[in-house]
Chain A
Amino acid sequence: DGGITQSPKYLFRKEGQNVTLSCEQNLNHDAMYWYRQDPGQGLRLIYYSQIVNDFQKGDIAEGYSVSREKKESFPLTVTSAQKNPTAFYLCASSAGSVGETQYFGPGTRLLVL
């Protein structure tokens, strides 16, 4: 899982609640990414950031928000607007240039109570 940590490993959300997933990297990477994975499926990009204080929507950004105030941190908030949040969330980072490998964290499994 390289130098990327995600916490918590499991997270429970109540109806109407916002929850925040943590992602930290010590690889000095410029780019960071958030993906969602549903059972038996591939990864879908939620948000990504190529530099501090800047981020872009991915393919499924609705109901999610992010911030990138520090190079090493890229937290993801799952808002109450996300009606089907149950999934496995993966954070990744890369040096940010074309053709770079992405390094993944261990993931956070979000469940709805």
Chain B
Amino acid sequence: SQQGEEDPQALSIQEGENATMNCSYKTSINNLQWYRQNSGRGLVHLILIRSNEREKHSGRLRVTLDTSKKSSSLLITASRAADTASYFCARETSGSRLTFGEGTQLTVNP
């Protein structure tokens, strides 16, 4: 099982708007990572947030982590058409293994 859920499954917005994606999980984590995947390509790492961190920024990306609610969110501000992709959260629970969610398909319309 994927041990968690992401929502929404699909999100369609206009360029310039903000996009928020959520990730929930069931077991304790060491850290949580967000990845991006363009259609038919490999995944690209976006940001890592450790279990003792609550918020992290990278450019137009903001990630929050609430370990009491076992949830994380990814915010993309001022979205661009080039942000169109699938976004996955991945939980590191033991060793170096990652467990991926099923992803959110983001479409940014020009």
Contacts and interface: CB of A to CB of B under 8 A. Distances in A.
Nearest to B9: A40
A90 B43 contact: yes
Interface string B16-44: 00000000000000110101000011111
B33 to A, nearest CB: 7
Report, as a range, how many residues of chain A touch the other chain: 20 to 34
Contacts of B35: 104
Interface in A60-95: 88, 90, 92, 94
A104 B45 CA distance: 9
Interface of B: 2, 30-31, 33, 35, 40-45, 48, 50, 88, 90, 92, 95-103, 105
A1 to B, nearest CB: 5
Contacts of A109: 40
Given A98-B30, A107-B41, A107-B42, A50 B88 contact: no
Contacts of A102: 33, 43, 45, 90, 98
- Top 6 A-B residue pairs of the complex, sorted by shortest distance between their CB atoms: A104-B42, A42-B100, A42-B102, A43-B100, A104-B43, A101-B45
Contact of B92 (A40, A45, A99, A104): A99
A22 B28 CA distance: 34
A98 B96 contact: yes
Given A42-B88, A50-B96, 4 more contacts: A43-B100, A98-B92, A102-B45, A104-B35
Contacts of B97: 45, 48, 58
26 contacts: A1-B42, A31-B96, A35-B100, A40-B102, A42-B101, A42-B102, A43-B43, A44-B100, A45-B99, A48-B96, A58-B97, A90-B42, A92-B43, A98-B30, A98-B96, A99-B30, A99-B48, A99-B50, A101-B33, A101-B45, A102-B43, A104-B43, A105-B42, A106-B42, A107-B41, A109-B40
